Amino acid sequence: MRSHKHIAIAGAGLVGSLLAIYLAKRGYRVSVFERRTDMRKVTADRGRSINLALSNRGLRALEEVGLADEIRRVAIPMHGRTMHSVSGNLSFQPYGKQGQFINSISRSNLNVVLMNKAESLGVQFYFEKRVASVDFEKTALHFQSPDDTPMMFDAIIGADGGFSAVRGAMQVTDRFNYSQHYIEHGYKELTIPPAEDGFQLEKNSLHIWPRESYMLIALPNIDGSFTCTLFFPFEGKLSFDTLRTPDEVRSFFQQQFPDACQLMPTLVDDFCNNPTASLVTVKCFPWVKNKILLMGDAAHAIVPFFGQGMNAGFEDCRVLNHLLDKNADQLENTFAAFQTERKQHTDAIAQLALDNFIEMRDLVGDEKFLLRKKIEAKLHELYPEKWIPLYSMVTFYEDTGYADALSTGQRQKQIMDEVMQTPDIKTNWPSLDFEKIVSKL
């Protein structure tokens, strides 16, 4: 036991729970405060839990705490994107090389594994405890309940998500830079139920119905169902605002997503009753005030289009753990080093996630774009160490920081913009001077 310090974590979500494990393993006394009820005690909601894409960065962090194998057993590998055209044609684009894939995982399953593990290490969870305010001088939390006395700690970590109460308290202190920016699209979750004998779509794919200004996607669940998400504008001619009646919904889906539509018996019901949720990017700085630190979505909420929100949060935990090693568990130095090291990377993934929405909803349906991807895959095959496509750097190369992936990706884009100007590139691309292309990097 290196330390008897007591650390409070606000938020028992994915990042808060994994962080609790890391800290408990280091010998800290850890208390986690969660405003919701204990999800392990709530009746499961008929297998329609939201799923997430777990990739290398997240897995690496899970590996470090010895949970990767357990999680892999309940994950579904997705080896690439299956694009669905309006006429029902399918095309497949692998995410990386043979053996590289991302994993569809149930958020609640993963969260429960993490909480159970944390508890087994002595972490104390407090549910239905909503942070009301933070005392930055006394390193204390006040809770929303008249009879609650404030609790003091050696440090507090706000891992309480995109609408963090700890960050809210920080926001009204002086010189706290902050932004929240919503995109013009919202999303709605829909369902493709399992067939009697398994999955109704190819199981090991992330399915996309790209329609330029909007898209439908589907990720597999272990019960054989798919959770579909429609990303769609809030306002405008074709939007959540204008698509209101059951008839309008049905006819829109029949026109735009005919193959998906026929697999969705509860479409109209789901559409009319499920909430329409918004998508926000949150940036702030500093992440540290005195002995209080923000992590995960509380520090850097991003849009979901690169499948990196959770992965970035898990990487936060791994980086913090590494910096605790490096700083001999001196918390204030560690927190300072953490924000300095990490901010550039989370800013980068915020940008990459916004950019990838355009790629997913529009470009993946574009022939020229697919050719570009094919050429990049060839470059990667020929020069596996030198030319790594952006998607791969972000998803499969966890030793490459997001900021480095972003800047290399920008250089690659410039080079590929030029390459794509080659006359008759569509037919001539196999005879490109690949070595010369790579040498421009």
> Which residues contact a second copy (rule: CB under 8 A)?
163, 171-172, 174-182, 234, 278
Report the nearest approach of a second copy to the CB of residue 305 (Å). Answer: 18
- How far does Cα 215 stand from its chain's mean position? 18
- Whose Cβ is closer to a second copy: residue 92's or residue 178's? 178
Report the nearest approach of a second copy to the CB of residue 275 (Å). Answer: 10
Token pair 């979901």: residue: 304
Peptide bond into 286 cis (omega under 30): yes
Report the nearest approach of a second copy to the CB of residue 173 (Å). Answer: 10
Name the token pair of 321: 């753990």
- Whose Cβ is closer to a second copy: residue 116's or residue 144's? 144
Report the nearest approach of a second copy to the CB of residue 179 (Å). Answer: 4
CA-closest candidate to residue 125, choices 19, 14, 22, 34: 34
Report the nearest approach of a second copy to the CB of residue 324 (Å). Answer: 25
DSSP structure string for 20-39: HHHHHHTT-EEEEE-SS--T
Q: Is the dihedral of CA 54, 116, 50, 224 positive or negative?
A: positive
Name the token pair of 360: 């997913």
Burial profile 291-327: b = 16 or more Cβ within 10 angstroms, e = fewer = bbbbbbbbbbbbbbbbbbbbbbbbbbbbbbbbbbeeb
- Whose Cβ is closer to a second copy: residue 175's or residue 436's? 175
Round to whole Å and give the CA distance between 368 and 371: 5
- Whose Cβ is closer to a second copy: residue 164's or residue 321's? 164
Report the nearest approach of a second copy to the CB of residue 292 (Å). Answer: 18
- Whose Cβ is closer to a second copy: residue 242's or residue 410's? 242
Token pair 């204390």: residue: 140
Q: Using N-to-C axis directions, what is the helix angle for 56-64 and 309-326, rounded to 10°?
A: 40
Report the nearest approach of a second copy to the CB of residue 52 (Å). Answer: 22
Name the token pair of 60: 């690496």
Round to whole Å and give the CA distance between 354 and 343: 17
DSSP structure string for 109-123: HHHHHHHHHHHHTTP
Report the nearest approach of a second copy to the CB of residue 363 (Å). Answer: 26
Report the nearest approach of a second copy to the CB of residue 187 (Å). Answer: 13
Helix (H) or strand (E) holding 58: helix 56-64
Round to whole Å and give the CA distance between 306 and 142: 36
Name the token pair of 158: 């706000």
- Whose Cβ is closer to a second copy: residue 180's or residue 255's? 180
Token pair 């992440």: residue: 287
- Whose Cβ is closer to a second copy: residue 116's or residue 173's? 173
Q: Report how far apart, in Å, the C-alpha atoms of 342 and of each of 144, 212, 302, 411 are.
A: 31, 33, 15, 22
Report the nearest approach of a second copy to the CB of residue 180 (Å). Answer: 5
Report the nearest approach of a second copy to the CB of residue 234 (Å). Answer: 7
- Whose Cβ is closer to a second copy: residue 68's or residue 183's? 183
3-state helix, strand, coil in the chain (%, to 5): 40, 25, 35
- Whose Cβ is closer to a second copy: residue 92's or residue 182's? 182
Mapping DSSP onto H, E and C, the string for 325-387 reads: HHCCCCHHHHHHHHHHHHHHHHHHHHHHHHHHHHHHHCHHHCHHHHHHHHHHHHHHHHCCCCC
- Whose Cβ is closer to a second copy: residue 180's or residue 407's? 180
- Whose Cβ is closer to a second copy: residue 179's or residue 410's? 179
